[in-house]
Amino acid sequence: MAVSEHPERSSTLAPDDEKKSPNQTDSTDIESGDAALAPGPGTFSAAPDGGARAWLVVAGAACIFFSGMGFMNSFGVFQEYYMSNQLRDRSPDDIAWIGSLMAFLQFAGGGLTGPLFDRFGAWVIRPAAVLYVFALMMTSVCEEYWQFILAQGVLAGLAMSMLQVPAFAAVSQYFDKKRGAALGLVVSGSSIGGIIFPIALSKMLNGSTLGFGWSVRVMAFVVTPLLAFSCFAVTSRLPPRKTNFFIPAAFTEVKFMTLIAAVFCCFIGMFTPLFFIPTYAVYRGVEPTLASYLLAIVNAASTFGRIIPGILADKFGRLNVFGVGGLLTGVVVLCMNTAVSTAGLVVYSVFFGFTSGTIVSGASAALSICTEDAQKLGTYMGMGMALASTATLLGPPVNGVLLDTYGGFLQVTIFSGVICLAGGVLALAAKVTTPKGLFGRT
């Protein structure tokens, strides 16, 4: 605590200083490092863990995830559609590069946008919201492979990164004891988007005369008012951090680097069904429209898989829940090739959705324990997600190569499932570096 570190200062407080609100800060303290933010101590008040302002930030962040990751979670619909239409002369791994590049930049950009949030606040989401809508509009007019790479892969991915990491960091500033539950609610927005976007896109692409262009433009019109709301709802609680832009010392911390490796492995496993389950269902003889609905089922189940584990993480430990979620997801991914009927695929989608729901929200909550200074949360989360996101750049194209080489999904599920299991093991192993140890509630 700041008072205990400077006893001579606390013994000579003037009457006016004794009446100072806990929300007031002293610029000298901030510059000297006394503002390190564990809950309660320091010059800033503890995170409120609730209240109208805090829940409004959660609502705005959930709208961001609905619009961004919810749209990305529907890429399986695009994968199947591109393979049959505009990009039918391309291999599955070529097409998967569009989605994997979008997913990679969505998280990798956090290495820049996380520190930007810590230094300048939530204003960074406003130009990003405009850029994201523009990227969707540009995707709607694409015809060539390189155009899809630039618009849907690069531009949309960069815009998402500028939206999502600041949203995570802002919510983390308002919540401490309930952080797992709050982040679970935020990421559940992507699950709801993952329900609506695949169904709507599939209906418009396969069951209407709208065509590809207007189908994507309709989606852009849907997200525009939600992002406009987020621009005003998401705000930072703390003043900006004035020290170094990046925190290089974080990469010398064993706990931080172990968690990055765990998230990397889990991402490889998690994105395999999200990218390929519609293609796999068509491979098993399911009608394309119904195959696209499987993504909606996955995301519907992941809504509960993100909220419930988030609540459990606050009670039983964030690393515990994240690690167990990684192990369960790895087991379920290994079982994908055994789902051969429509009923089996529906049941599989429910199980995968629930178990994989713990990974994104769980990863963010796990990375947040790497620092007790809330002014550094954005930087830690951004740098961690940036490194872990290389999994999304590598995993889907490798799976596409395996599919193209072997003509089936057995090798795909073995590769992704085993690596995801390794991620769960690493997450639990990271507990050794915490004060409570391997068997503690961390």
Domains contained in the chain, number: 1
Any domain includes 5 = no
pLDDT at 317 over 60: yes
Range of the domain at 111: 51-433
pLDDT at position 230: 92
Distance CA 113, CA 377 (A): 12
Average pLDDT over residues 5-30: 41
Encoding tokens for residue 74?
A: 């529907």
Any domain includes 127 = yes
Contact of 163 with 132, CB cutoff 8 Å: yes
Average pLDDT over residues 251-255: 84
Between 381 and 13, the higher pLDDT residue: 381
pLDDT at 333 over 50: yes
pLDDT digits (tens, 9 = 90+) for 53-109: 889 999 999 999 999 888 887 887 888 889 888 888 888 878 888 988 888 888 777
Average pLDDT over residues 135-150: 92
Any domain includes 37 = no
CATH of the domain at 265: 1.20.1250.20
pLDDT at 22 over 70: no
Q: Which helix (H) or strand (E) holds 11?
A: none
DSSP characters over 314-359:
HHH-HHHHHHHHHHHHHHHHHTGGG--SHHHHHHHHHHHHHHHHHH
Any domain includes 18 = no
Query: Which of helix, strand or coil describes residue 10?
Result: helix
DSSP characters over 12-28:
T--HHHHT--TT---HH
Contact of 332 with 266, CB cutoff 8 Å: no
Any domain includes 441 = no
Highest mean pLDDT pick, 152-161, 189-198, 234-243, 399-408? 152-161
pLDDT at 341 over 70: yes
**Distance of CA 209 to CAs 213, 214, 216, 225, Å?**
11, 9, 13, 25
Any domain includes 164 = yes
pLDDT at 223 over 50: yes
Distance CA 281, CA 272 (A): 13
Distance CA 83, CA 80 (A): 5
Any domain includes 246 = yes
pLDDT at position 245: 67
